[in-house]
Amino acid sequence: MLERLNEAMDHIEDHLDETVDAAEPARIAMTSEYHFRRMFSALAGIPLSEYVRRRRMTLAGAEVLAGERTLLDVAVRYGYSSGEAFARAFRAVHGVGPGEARRTGAALHSQPRMSFRLIVEGSSSMRYRVVEKDRFRLVGRGTRIPLVYEGMNPAIVEFVKSIGKETLGRWEERATGEPDGVLAVVSNHSAEDAEGTELDYFHGVVSETDVPGASEALDIEPGLWAVFESSGEFPLAVQYLWRDVYTQWFPSNPYRSRPGPSLSRTRVSEDGTYADAEVWIPVERAGD
């Protein structure tokens, strides 16, 4: 899988001066466009569209400084219909306009070309299972949060605090079926979402009955789920679990992610240093 991903990256690199359609790299990687975008975002830490934009502006920046083409020629070469549009995109990446960069020889930002490799440490094994579930119902509360790719998300921390420990305890007592316990749900996250994009976030439990303090409900469609478990230092155990799913499990197993909400449950020790984590990701068999 990683070899095919790198072939897809070669294709992207060869077509930076054209419109990069994710469907073709996905075909080269022998997976769906949806899964390719999710895989890339998880491995690279940025959406595919943002990587392409940065790489395109890196090459454009080199041509601007070289001075062999007019600024309009550079703009057209990299897909911009006007000098104004090119200047806005250039400034967004480099912090300076192309004209000023050429006049002053300004230092520009560079996005290195990416490739992927698998590091096998052998220090731990991943616990997982694949389950098929009928439609189920989540009850709880929802909010909007900004996307954070690394580290704790302060908006989630504050939202969970606003619900309160007593209410969360009552919810857990009323939970029925799998996944059990209080769950964190992100239902509309696209692999193209940039850092800071607002997402729908839901905190709740699986239950077919009313739960005190739960004001909203989500109906989850039937389908296959890959379920992953991990235990260890908090929050690293949770962050590493998400990383390992995409860097180790998907490349080694005949499944790909499908559209749908991701579910996670984290039980943190009293002193806040240790956690048991469980992640549910909607999947389908590759090739279906």
pLDDT, tens only, 11-27: 999 999 888 888 999 99
DSSP string computed for 72-83? HHHHHHTT-SSH
Query: Half-sphere exposure of residue 260, counting CA atoms within 13 Å on the CB side?
Result: 19
Confidence of residue 183 (pLDDT cuts 50, 70, 90): very high
- Using alpha carbons, list the distances in angstroms from residue 64 to 81, 91, 110, 159: 17, 12, 13, 46
Measured CA to CA, the distance from residue 232 to residue 222 in angstroms comes to 31
Q: What are the residue ranges spanned by the domains of the chain?
A: 2-104, 127-285
More confident residue, 247 or 58: 58
Which CATH homologous superfamily contains domain 2-104? Answer: Homeodomain-like (1.10.10.60)
Region 238-258: mean pLDDT is 81
* CATH number listed for the domain at residues 127-285: 3.20.80.10
Q: With a threshold of 0.85, does the pTM exceed it? A: no
Mean pLDDT rounded to a whole number for the chain: 86
Measured CA to CA, the distance from residue 39 to residue 84 in angstroms comes to 34
